Amino acid sequence: MNCDSTAEEAFDAMMRSYSEMREEVEAAPSFGEGSRKKYKWIRRIPYTEIGIKRMRCFRCKKQAHTQWQICADGNQWRPICVMCDIDLNRLVLEFMRDPDVELKMAIYASEMLKPILEEGMKALGVHDGVVGGRSP
Ligand SMILES: [Zn+2]
């Protein structure tokens, strides 16, 4: 056995274990119903703006408002709620060691929460900060 065949064998072994791992990952429940056949039917096309609102957050099961895609997750489109989206954005910024995490998150969170707050105010009958309608 020379050096080349050892390297070749090591490469073959690596590729074999990679394909075994891949089969294992694709059979995992988070990839659908646990079969390779169904793996082909996972969400590869993004949800529409209306469609996403009908979905539940993949993480916490609250109403979804947007969707995320992760390469290691087979690029499946995952519905996600407002709060999980905000948390996920913070997580990624922190991971990237962004120097302006707090500033960026303050802006992003207020943009994301504004429509929800406005909806809540409307439901409470608050207009322009006044309960019960606009003052003359
Ligand atoms: Zn959530």
Round to whole Å and give the CA distance between 81 and 78: 10
pLDDT of residue 29: 64
pTM of this structure: 0.66
Angle at 29 between CA 37 and CA 11, to 5 degrees: 70
Q: At CA 85, angle to CA 50 and CA 125, rounded to 5?
A: 65
Average pLDDT on 119-129 reads 82
Q: Where are the domains of the chain?
A: 1-40, 43-126
Q: Which pLDDT score is estimated for 66?
A: 94
Question: 93 with 109: CB under 8 angstroms?
Answer: no
pLDDT tens by residue, 29-86? 666 544 445 445 567 789 999 999 999 999 999 999 999 998 888 888 999 999 999 9
Distance 95 CA to ligand 1 centre (A): 20
pLDDT above 70: percentage of residues in the chain: 78
Q: Which residues surround ligand 1, an ion (CB under 5 A)?
A: 57, 59-60, 62, 81, 84
35 CA to centre of ligand 1 in angstroms: 26
- pLDDT for 12: 80
pLDDT for residue 4: 61
Per-residue confidence (pLDDT) for residue 133, from 0 to 100:
54
Tell how far the Cα of 59 is from the centroid of ligand 1, in angstroms.
5
State the distance from the centre of ligand 1 to the C-alpha of 86, rounded, in angstroms: 9
